[in-house]
Structure 1
Amino acid sequence: MPIWNPWHGCHKISAGCMHCYVYRRDASVGRDASAVAKTGDFDLPLRRDRHREYKLQPGEGTVFTCMTSDFFLEEADPWRPACWQMMRQRPDLDFAIITKRIHRFMDCIPPDWGEGYPNVSIYCTAENQEMADARLPLYLTLPIRHKHICHEPMLGPINIEPYLASGQIEYVLCGGESGPGARPCRYEWILSTREQCVRYGVRFHFKQTGAVFIKDGKVYHIPRKLQQSQAARAGIDYAGE
C-alpha cells in the first residue's frame, strides 16, 4: 500500500483522536505531533528514479494520502494546491484521503474540482454515532465522485443506514483501536455495520480487530502484528453489488 505524507503533524478534534498513533509515535522520539510541517516526500507522486521512471508506479495500489496528518488541516492551506496539481498530473494513480475535517472540504478544493477528480476518493471518518450524524449529512451534499466511510477506531455501534440509503457511499471500512490504552471494539458492532452494508449492496472491509477485541462476551488482547490477520480470518468482508 503506497503512502504519501506531504506534511506531518495534526491537532486532535474528536473522540477518535484520543489515542492517535501519530502522537504516540512522535512522543516516543521526543517529537511534538502538533507541530505541522512539510515533509521530504512532499513531491513524491512526481518523483522519478535514475531511469526517469516514476517512483510511484501504477498498479502498486491506492496511494493513501496524508496518513500522519489531515489533508484538510488549516495549517496546510498554502501547500494543498500543489498537492491537487500533482494528483491531476498523475491520473494513472488512485489517491485516498481520510479526513475528520469534512467541514472544511469546500474551502479546500481546487477551482477545477467540478464533481470531483475521478482518481480521488474521500473517506469521511465516523468513529461513533455522534460523529456519524455530525459529519455524514454534510458529506452527502459534497461534490465527491468516490465517497467512503471510515469507522476507525470504531468506538461504539453506529447506524449509517440513512446514509447508505442515499446510494452515494461506495465503501465502508471498520477497525478497532491499537496501542496502549486502546478502547475496546466489539464484534457485534462490526457485524451490525456489515449487515447494513449488505442490505444496501455497499462494499465492506473489516480492517483490524484493534488491541482490545470483545467477541461473544470474551475479551481478547491482540498484539499489533496480528490485528489485521485476525480480522481477515473472520472472513466477513463483502464485495458489494
Structure 2
Amino acid sequence: MADGTKIEWTDATWNPITGCSVVSPGCTNCYAMKLAGTRLKHHPSREGLTRNSKAGPVWTGEVRFNPQWLDEPLRWKKPRMIFVCAHGDLFAEGVPDEWIDQIFAVMALAPQHTFQVLTKRPERMRDYLQEMARCFEHDSAEFSRRWGTAAAEVTGSPCAAGAIEDIPWPLPNVWLGTSAEDQDRYSSRWPYMEELQELGWLTWLSAEPLLGRILLRVTGLREVGPDARVHQSSLPQWVVAGGESGPNARPMHPYWPRQLRDQCADAGVPFHFKQWGAWGKPTKPRPSGTPGRFALAASPEGASEFWPAHVVEIGHWPRQIDLFGGATVLEHVGKKAAGRLLDGIEHNGFPGDPPMTPRSGSAHVKDFEAFVAETAPKLHWKIYQDLGADPSRSNGYYDGWQHGFGEASFGPLPLPQLIDEMKASVTAKVRALGDDRQ
C-alpha cells in the first residue's frame, strides 16, 4: 500500500490482493515478484508467495487477501489515480469472485478517485463484468446480494448496500487495462478488451515491458468476420509504453515505442511513454571490441514479416561491420540515465487529453504495408476455410475475397500478388485524396 509512488502514470498503489503467477515472457523480470521474494519476503502480505529458483524468486501462484488495506481509498479524500493490485493481478486464477466484489464495491463508493486496473487475464475480467452487467440490468436481487452485500461489509454500514445500487454502471472512475509485451500477446488479449469497451468501460493498454512491435489494428479474434472480410478492431482508449528496468532487463528497440506513438497520434489515442528502462543511448563511443553490456537494434528499414526490426544483446562495442544497414547501438545504462524522452519529447498523455498531431499520408501507407505483411499470411488458411476453398493447394489462392479497405475485389490471386495489390490499392487511394493529413 503506498499513498505516493514513483510509477509515472499513477499517484498511488493499492494492494488488497498480492501474489500472482507467471503467464508470459513479460512476467520474467516482474518487479513485484522480485520484491516479494527479497526485501518483502517476511512481510505478512508477501510471505510464502514466491519460491527460490536459479533465476531468482518466482511466483508460486498463491494469492493473498489483505483486508487491512481494503478500505484505504475510502479514507483518502483528495482525488488520486490509484493503481489497483500493483503487486498482483485482480483477476488471477486463485482470486475468488467474493474478493473482487469487495474491491469493486470500494471503487464504486470512492468516485473522487480514478482506479487503474491492469490484468494479464482479460478473458476473466470480461466474464466477470459481463455477469455484473447482466445482474445490474436484469437481476437486481443478485446484484444486491453480491455487490450490495460487499459494500455493506467493507463500510460496516447497511446504507452502503442501497447507495451502490444507485451508482451508474459501468463505473466512469474505473479504467480497465490489459498488458501486452508483443504482438502475439496483444493479438490474443485485446479482443476481450474490445468487448468491455462495447459494454461502456474505458479500456487501455500497458505495453510494458515492450519486447516486440505492436500493431494496434491486428488482433487475433477479429481479423476475419463471418462475411470473410477484414474487420478493424477497436483501439485502446489510452496506451502506456515503456522498456524494462533492472539488472536483467531486456533491451527495447527504439522503433517499437515510436511506432506505437505514431499509431496513437493517427488515431487520436492518448500516449504515455513511461521510460526507456535500463537500456539507452551509450554514455560515450568506445573502441571496437571494448567489452560491456551493449545491444544492436537493427534498422527498421527493410523490415518484414520474416525479418522484423529486432534487437540483440552483444558483449562488446560493435565493429563497423555490425552497424551495416544503420543499426542503433544501445547500452545498459540504468533507468535514470536512460530517461523517458522519446525523440526529445516527454509523452504524458492521459484519457481526455487533446490528441497528438497525426502524421502524413505516406506514413499511413507504411503502416498499412506493415499491417498487410503481418495479417495476410495469418488470414490465409482462415479465409480459405470460410470460402470453402481447398487449403491444401500450395499457392494459396483467394477465391473472390473482398478486402476491407476499399471496393476492389481480388480473386483468384496468389498470396504474394494479393499483398502487392493491396499495397498498391491503398497507396493510390491515399495519394488521390490530395491531403497530406489524411
Q: Which TM bucket (shorter chain)?
A: 0.7 to 0.9
CA distance in 1, matches of 2:192, 2:117: 17
Among candidates 290, 311, 332, match of residue 221 of structure 1 = 332
What SS class does the counterpart of residue 238 from structure 2 fall into?
strand
1:1-241 pair list within 5 angstroms: 1-29=11-39, 30=41, 31=47, 32=50, 33-34=59-60, 35-39=62-66, 40-46=68-74, 54=75, 56-59=76-79, 61-77=80-96, 78-109=98-129, 110=132, 111-112=135-136, 116-142=170-196, 143-162=199-218, 166=233, 168-213=235-280, 217-226=328-337, 230-232=339-341, 234-237=344-347, 239-241=353-355
Q: Which has the higher contact order (CA 8 A, sep 6+)?
A: 1
Opposite residue 18 of structure 1, the aligned amino acid is T
Moved more, 31-40 or 9-18: 31-40
Task: Tell me the CA shift for residue 220 of structure 1.
Answer: 2.5
Task: Tell me the CA shift for residue 36 of structure 1.
Answer: 1.5
TM-score (norm 2): 0.49
What SS class does the counterpart of residue 161 from structure 1 fall into?
coil
Q: Which runs of 4+ in 1 moved over 4 A?
A: 165-168
Query: Does the Cα contact within 8 Å between 1:161 and 1:196 map onto a contact in 2?
Result: no
5+ residue gaps in structure 2?
1-10, 42-46, 51-58, 138-167, 220-231, 282-296, 298-326, 356-438
Opposite residue 79 of structure 1, the aligned amino acid is W
RMSD between aligned residues:
2.3
Query: Does the Cα contact within 8 Å between 1:153 and 1:174 map onto a contact in 2?
Result: yes
Query: Does the Cα contact within 8 Å between 1:176 and 1:213 map onto a contact in 2?
Result: no
What SS class does the counterpart of residue 98 from structure 1 fall into?
strand
TM-score (norm 1): 0.85
Task: Tell me the CA shift for residue 6 of structure 1.
Answer: 0.6
Aligned residues: 229
Q: Structure 1 residues 57, 112: closer, same or farther in 2, change over 3 A?
A: same
Moved more, 204-213 or 136-145: 136-145
Task: Tell me the CA shift for residue 106 of structure 1.
Answer: 3.1
5+ residue gaps in structure 1?
47-53
Opposite residue 231 of structure 1, the aligned amino acid is R
Task: Tell me the CA shift for residue 162 of structure 1.
Answer: 4.8
What SS class does the counterpart of residue 150 from structure 1 fall into?
strand
